[in-house]
Amino acid sequence: MIVLKFGGTSVGSVESLRSVVEIVRSRMNKAPIVVVSALSKVTDLLYKICEKEESFEDDLKALRLRHHSFIEEYFAESPQTVLQLKSEIDTYVNSITDICIQPEFSYRDRAAVISCGELMSSLIACTALNKGGVPTSRIDARQFMFCNGDPLKSSPDMSMINHHTPALIARHRMLNPDSKVIITQGFICATISGKPAVLGRGGSDYSASIIAWALNADAVEIWTDVNGIRDADPRYVENTHCLPLLSYDQADAIVKAGAKVLHPLTLEPARMRNIPVYVLNTYNPEGEYTLILPEDHKLLK
């Protein structure tokens, strides 16, 4: 079993989502759990919507349009699918509107609104996988990703997650015997009593590692828009080099020093069970990548 996480840019364009389908197909025999972020820029827009600025109505329109245009382009050959998905997106956008216009708008409500980014992207990606011949079923991460504390920067409740996730996933597989792949959302979580929350910005990497830990996965693959962890941020520095092999300590030092490529807590769950973490490029799946291994692994000696 492996966990594959696709970030916002990986599910953010029609071309990249096609690549996601091919990557998942190539790993179908490894019982993958796919973790997705919201479409790129959507979480920023949801935070803005929560501010209820003057542009509130336009922001909601932009949110709807971002998903509708994506669906129209991706599923152009299948008008029925376009209609169905657009109506499901409308349901999410309407629920966001309803939550935002309540007179009392708590941090919990904000978390509910912000969670819709991942709920919408996972719906679209699940449909894309099924349409692409990769039988996939969707599971709501809030059924097993339990958390405590600040609704907008929650702490995972590792013991509850460890306790519930394996049985929940096993049951889901039993009830969906034809589906080869399970897709779920990164970043979003819930208290044990079902109150919505999120893990904090960039938290989908952390979700993927937590899921891998809870299921004792063989590997976590973090699919993003760069060829592995580099010796500098390629957004600001030219001619960076891929760091092909790192220990948990080395990678941890890089991300805790601020390299935005991984959420700073990503490596902690994986290292607790010695699970290898790969960082790969959705736009160049055969290109260079980083492999992160336990310090005592023979490849590192």
Contact footprint for ligand ADP (CB under 6 A) = 7-10, 37, 202, 224-226, 229-230, 232-235, 259-261
What is the closest distance, in whole angstroms, from the C-beta atom of residue 8 to Mg ion in the complex? 7
Which of the choices ligand ASP, Mg ion, ligand ADP, none does residue 203 contact, using the CB cut-off of 5 to 8 A by kind?
Answer: ligand ASP
What is the closest distance, in whole angstroms, from the C-beta atom of residue 58 to ligand ADP in the complex? 25
Q: 233 or 249, CB closer to ligand ASP?
A: 233
Interactions with ligand ASP, residue window 180-199 (CB under 6 A): 186-187
What is the closest distance, in whole angstroms, from the C-beta atom of residue 10 to ligand ADP in the complex? 6
| Alpha carbon 3 to chain centroid, angstroms | 11
Q: 135 or 287, CB closer to ligand ADP?
A: 287
Sole window of 5-13, 77-85, 187-195, 273-281 interacting with Mg ion (rule: CB under 5 A): 5-13
Query: Quick one: which of 19, 162, 204, 282 contacts ligand ASP (CB under 6 A)?
Result: 204
- Helix/strand/coil (H, E, C) string of the chain? CEEEEECCCCCCCHHHHHHHHHHHHHCHHHCCEEEECCCCCHHHHHHHHHCCCCCHHHHHHHHHHHHHHHHHHHCCCCHHHHHHHHHHHHHHHHHHHHHHCCCCCCHHHHHHHHHHHHHHHHHHHHHHHHHCCCCEEECCHHHCCEEECCCCCCEECHHHHHHHHHHHHHHHHHHCCCCCEEEEECCEEECCCCCEEECCCCCHHHHHHHHHHHCCCCEEEEEECCCCCECCCCCCCCCCCECCEEEHHHHHHHHHCCCCCCCCCCHHHHHHCCCCEEEEECCCCCCCCEEEECCCCHHHC
Q: 169 or 246, CB closer to ligand ADP?
A: 246
Residues 6+ apart with CB under 8 A from 101: none
Query: Quick one: which of 7, 32, 151, 276 contacts ligand ASP (CB under 6 A)?
Result: 7
Question: What is the C-alpha to C-alpha distance for residues 137 and 150, in angstroms, rounded to an integer?
Answer: 30
Q: 3 or 38, CB closer to ligand ASP?
A: 38
What is the closest distance, in whole angstroms, from the C-beta atom of residue 128 to ligand ADP in the complex? 17
Contacts with ligand ASP, 13-42, as mask; x by CB under 6 A: ------------------------xx----
What is the closest distance, in whole angstroms, from the C-beta atom of residue 299 to ligand ASP in the complex? 28
What is the closest distance, in whole angstroms, from the C-beta atom of residue 93 to Mg ion in the complex? 24
Is residue 117 close enough to count as binding ligand ASP by CB under 6 A? yes
Residues 6+ apart with CB under 8 A from 254: 229, 243, 246
What is the closest distance, in whole angstroms, from the C-beta atom of residue 73 to ligand ADP in the complex? 20
Is residue 43 close enough to count as binding ligand ASP by CB under 6 A? yes
Residues that bind ligand ASP (CB under 6 A): 7-8, 37-38, 43, 117, 186-187, 201-204
